[in-house]
Chain A
Amino acid sequence: MVELKPDQYRGIWVYLEHRNGAIFKGSIQLIGEGGRIAKELGTELSGVLLGHGIRDLAQEAIEYGVETVILGEHDVLKEYSPNAYCLALAKLVKRRKPEVVLFSASKNGRALAGRLHAEIETGLAADCTAFEVTDEGLLAMIRPAFGGRSLAHILCKEHRPQMASARPNVFAIPARDPSRRGRVSRARLRLSPSDIDTEIVAFEEFPDVQEVKLEDSAIVVAGGYGMRGPENFRILRDLARELGGAVAASRKAADSGWVPKEIQVGQTGKTVRPRLYFAVGISGAVQHLAGMQESDVIVAVNKDPRAPIFEIADYGIVGDLFQIVPKMIEELRAMKHDGGEAPSPATIRT
């Protein structure tokens, strides 16, 4: 194992993922949380930027609250590749000895951290939703377990750094202040082109079709495999429009290509916490519940009375969604015409 002298390690690092000249939202959120942890531990917050020609991003990181930017620029890092990035981070960690390294739990962030923790033999907690500093000055890395029924507090007592990935959109984006000043520390990295393990040969961006951002919506209408096909999502869009909400989907519906992946809710998708969540033709697998069970009011429509979704529903209708949803739309429209106040989106909880 590596040196087991935890007290030689100082400082909080946030690994800053970026694309197309902008730092990822998930990484920016971690600047806020990392800063809070650094303050509590009486230490400094650094942001690690790897890439090539990314000097401008350092200023952005500083404006969000990073005190020191560790800038690792190299030809070999021009495009993200797991091995080269892992080696670069491993070198930096061994040289500068941070006590904590945080990653955003994006797909790339998780896989990179996973490779790195084996390389440097230290503890890594995945997809954390909270952090606490313990009385002994350790970082409790807190993550949902058992489908969100429990929160596991994970400690890495003897190995350093303590590493974790954090679930995007759990922590707030810190205020950006253009007058903030910070340090940029250039890191010299010896890497060779043979360190690049894989390269991108094709890329197809998901279209950004969602009119209302899922995470910000007070009402979410989600469809599952019970929708039977992409064309049927039209009735959910109509229902969402009547209610003033956004459309979401289960993983099975998204993986079937019926709707964009970016509106998938659940453990491997987005976490939402709206005032009202409609689950239509969704069975209620634990992985789905993990992304929506903190909603204020949950409504389920499912033809199977034993579907687990009913166990966490406030209201539900057992029956055929193809009858129930059109009827709902019709009645909501009728309510409007009857002179009743139009259903307007409920206010967003802050």
Chain B
Amino acid sequence: MGLKIIVCIKQVPKAQELRIDPKTNTLKRAGVESVINPPDRNALEMALRLVERHGGKTVVVSMGPPFFDASLHEAIGMGIDEGFLLTDRALGGSDTVPTAYALSKTVEKVGDYDLILCGEETTDSSTGHVGPGMAGHLRIPQITYVSKVGLKDGWVEATRTLEYGLETRRGRTPALLTVNFGCNTPREPTLLGKIRAKRGGVIKIWNAADVGADYSKIGLRNSPTVVSKMETVVLPERKGIILDNGQRDAVSKLLGMLADEGVLRVG
């Protein structure tokens, strides 16, 4: 039999390439490459390791526009067995309520899972609400902000990072876990894996009707929240005085300038 683990991933703009346009004080988005949301890659790695240890099957699920299949290809390239992309114009503009709903419908359709893994949050909207929302819809246990996981006889035990300590929780499977960014080193996709991803049948495309999602519960119109305005934050002007340590007295110069700023009270 073995396990069945579903990993939910999202494609996001690549963070390193996000630079601020000094004129408009907004992020330059044009031409920014997309990647798998970084914590989701840790979730994929966690799933692969669990299945290596216990045997079974891994499935990746994503919701988004058709070009999100690039992420699914990469996940398959890493060794995930099968992928599903939920894509439908009617899902456009969904906030976390319809997203959690539609994804929970999708994993139900995939069916028979022991674990669902999500990243702790996304780098583009950073809410961390979709994973717990799905767990609520599915009425299954949730363990969030997990770095370590163990499975045994229908139980999952996971260690989570809280503000004040490390907490290990135990719950029945099926369960949903959200995985900490940086808790493992995700493997790179292999050439063989990428070739496999291109084969027919490995990645399937579903629309909302395919997963049985109610159209009156998805999309922009059925999202409780709206962004009413975006305010630009005017960050303090920075001096940008950058010295080179090659200069012999760089350190003294720096300390001198800091003293002049009044942030060091040096005589």
Contacts and interface: CB of A to CB of B under 8 A. Distances in A.
B142 A83 contact: yes
Contacts of A299: 254, 258
Interface stretch (B61-69, B78-86, B198-206, B222-230): B222-230
B242 A331 contact: no
Interface string B226-267: 111111110110111111111000111011011001111111
14 contacts: A113-B132, A115-B133, A116-B136, A148-B235, A149-B232, A150-B26, A202-B159, A285-B16, A286-B18, A308-B19, A313-B238, A318-B242, A331-B252, A344-B265
Given A118-B97, A204-B165, A317 B251 contact: yes
Contacts of B225: 123-125, 154-156
Given A150-B232, A297-B258, A255 B182 contact: yes
A327 interface: yes
A154 B225 CA distance: 6
A60 interface: no
Contacts of A159: 224
A203 B231 contact: no
B234 to A, nearest CB: 10
Interface stretch (B45-53, B123-131, B188-196): B123-131
B228 A117 contact: no
B264 A314 contact: no
A118 B133 contact: yes
B140 A197 contact: yes
A257 to B, nearest CB: 11
B230 A152 contact: yes
Contacts of A108: 162
Interface in B1-30: 15-16, 18-20, 25-27
B70 interface: no
A318 to B, nearest CB: 5
Interface stretch (A31-39, A47-55, A63-71, A334-342): A334-342
Interface string A293-322: 110111110000100101111111111100
A261 B26 contact: no
Interface string A132-157: 00100000101011111111111111
A114 interface: yes
Contacts of B130: 114
A86 B169 contact: no
A201 B16 CA distance: 38
Nearest to A116: B136
A198 B167 CA distance: 12
Size bracket, chain B contacts: 35 or more
A14 interface: no
Interface of B: 15-16, 18-20, 25-27, 95-97, 100-101, 120-121, 123, 125-137, 139-145, 157, 159-172, 175, 178, 180-183, 217, 222-233, 235-236, 238-246, 250-252, 254-255, 257-258, 261-267
B244 A115 contact: no
A214 to B, nearest CB: 13
Given A316-B243, A335-B266, A346-B262, 7 more contacts: A111-B131, A118-B100, A125-B225, A155-B227, A157-B224, A197-B172, A276-B264
Contacts of A251: 181-182
Contact of A332 (B18, B136, B230, B255): B255
Contacts of B25: 149
Nearest to B264: A343
Interface in A216-240: 219
List the 8 closest A-B pairs by CB distance, nearest first. A319-B245, A123-B224, A114-B132, A340-B267, A118-B133, A197-B141, A198-B171, A114-B129
Given A107-B162, A151-B233, A119 B263 contact: no
B132 A318 contact: no
Contacts of A153: 227-231
Interface string A183-197: 000000000000001
